Amino acid sequence: MERKEAYSLKFIAVLDGVRAVSVIIVLIFHFWQQTWIFPIVNTPFLQSIGISRIDFTPFARVGYLFVDMMILISGMLLFLPVARNVFIGEPLSKWRTYYKKRAIRILPSYLFCVIALFVYELIMGGYGKPIVFSETAADLISHLFFVHTWKVQTYLMTKLNVVLWTLAVEVWFYVLFPLFASFVRRWKKERSFLGSLIRSLILGVAMIGVSFVYIYGYALVPESAFAGTVDGILLKLGSGIRSTYPAMVINQLPAFMGTYAVGMFGSLLYVFAASKLKRRWYVSLPSTILCLAFGYLIVQMVKQCSVCDPAAAQVWQLTARLPLALAFMGFILTAAFSARWFGFIFSNRLMRFLSGISYNLYIWHQWLCVQMKNVWRIPAWEGDTPPNMWVGADYTPAQQAAGMEWRTKYAVLITVFAFAAAILATYLIERPAADLLNGRPSVYNGKLGLLIKQRREKKPKR
């Protein structure tokens, strides 16, 4: 009974659902860009309370904000072992083990995507005929070393899946993380967590400071002397993040350091609270109410950003990145201590499955939906203007109706293709590769036969 009443210090169950929902919101944003279908759900069953429909359009317009949630979760999970070390003195694994785990988690699906798309573009002539060797090599090599966000040509204009920019941010934070953790961890001579906690606060302030300087001293003021100096240094290093595309400066690691800091500090708060609290109604009830309040706050922030024009929305994204991270973290922490029925929304079999395929769903969904519409033309369409643009006075009602019919079919198909690709990549690439690299039986070296044998042995004999 005592175990059921305690909170886990090693696993935050609601993160499965929060991660899955975040990836799906990003997916909705990219699909909306291609379909122009506004996600509105009619709710006649709520008419009696004055709600005839629920409009998810703001989440479609600025769904990219939930990439920040994914990065926040990453920082929180990375720091969770360190938080246990701080508060309960649990030893940290060797950093060699840490790097191995990160590589096994990230690289198989990522490298498969990069190499598969590189071969595909070579065959399809994406790199020109004849092939422009310098551009082709730069695209591939920059992705292999996770520096593709440094230049427009290898980031926004890449042939190798533009959404992979997040992996560049994540991997370089993974590389730096042991330095942060080593600074924070409890030293052998320390009998209490006070010293580690103080160092955690110092690290958090420093990381937020880096983001603040980057955003307000560099990204938003390109004409300043400091920004000019930094640009000069970056140019000498071969970078071109200062360009006419705001995304080039928005989506760089320094801009996310504050988000990572919030995620890391969230781990400390969770472990401290989970080690002190038990599952009681006086914990779960206020946590559930607060979680709903944080959810409402997030919705309002999304709406605030969605009414901005694209340029203003990008400025909003930068300047509100820290407040948004705090709102996200508030939602996660209160959901973790909420009532069981509420936590179940984010921690159930469906959410665990979606979370399990979310990495590959994120990797493949945007590339597939663009290819299906513009290259493969699935569903079929003719002419130079995609059917999602058959709107307005230039098109007859019959053409607009045909365009709407095409958009509906396309939305269904891209959803099916994206989830199918995610499932196949997860169960044929990611997990088998992890099994092989961890020295376990894989579907490629006997695991499938072992599973079949075990199932046969479990069957009752007649």
Asked whether residue 333 is domain-assigned, the answer is no
List, for residues 273-288, the tens digit of each pLDDT value. 999 999 999 999 999 9
Dist CA 200 CA 190 (whole Å):
15
Q: Residue 2 — very low, low, confident or very high, per pLDDT cuts 50/70/90?
A: very low
Asked whether residue 276 is domain-assigned, the answer is no
Per-residue confidence (pLDDT) for residue 1, from 0 to 100: 39
Dist CA 256 CA 208 (whole Å):
9
Domain encompassing residue 375: 17-61+341-462
Asked whether residue 122 is domain-assigned, the answer is no
Please give the tally of structural domains in the chain: 1
- pTM of model > 0.95: no
Whether residue 339 has pLDDT greater than 90: yes
Pick the closest to residue 360 from 436, 434, 270 (CA basis): 434
Per-residue confidence (pLDDT) for residue 165, from 0 to 100: 97
Asked whether residue 307 is domain-assigned, the answer is no
Pick the closest to residue 253 from 150, 328, 163 (CA basis): 150
Asked whether residue 273 is domain-assigned, the answer is no
- Taking every pair of Cα atoms in the chain, the longest distance, rounded to a whole number of angstroms, is 83
Per-residue confidence (pLDDT) for residue 76, from 0 to 100: 97
List, for residues 34-46, the tens digit of each pLDDT value. 998 888 887 887 7
Asked whether residue 91 is domain-assigned, the answer is no
Whether residue 47 has pLDDT greater than 80: no
Dist CA 196 CA 209 (whole Å):
20
Give the residue, 100 or 36, on which the prediction is more confident. Answer: 100
Asked whether residue 25 is domain-assigned, the answer is yes
